[in-house]
Amino acid sequence: QVQLVESGGGLVQPGGSLRLSCVVSGSIFSIYAMGWYRQAPGKQRDMVARITSGGSTNYADSVKGRFTISRDNAKNTVYLQMNSLKPEDTAVYYCNLGGPTGYWGKGTLVTVSS
């Protein structure tokens, strides 16, 4: 059974940084695209960043130049490095394997506030 477990969320001041991690159980990690999505209170869940099995990446316009997605296939782990955080980045961040109809983690809360 595939399970995704996120970690690394927390409270950070504006301008600060956080690194989220998502560990995937099972042997299918390396063949699938991985993504990070986020959902703020009262809003829909939106894609933040995505990385293919070959390492190609794409980002939401709102995070380009500030966030970096990466993956370590040997560790079945995908990361999201978040720099220059803004209050509007506050949300629950979800790890995803295989697209919106694929597998999801339970989410980790990121709060950007002074």
Q: What 8-state DSSP symbol labels residue 84?
A: S
CA distance 53 to 57: 10
What H or E segment, with its residue span, contains residue 7? strand 4-7
What is the tens place of the pLDDT at every residue in 38-97?
A: 999 999 999 999 999 999 999 999 999 999 999 999 999 999 999 999 999 999 999 999
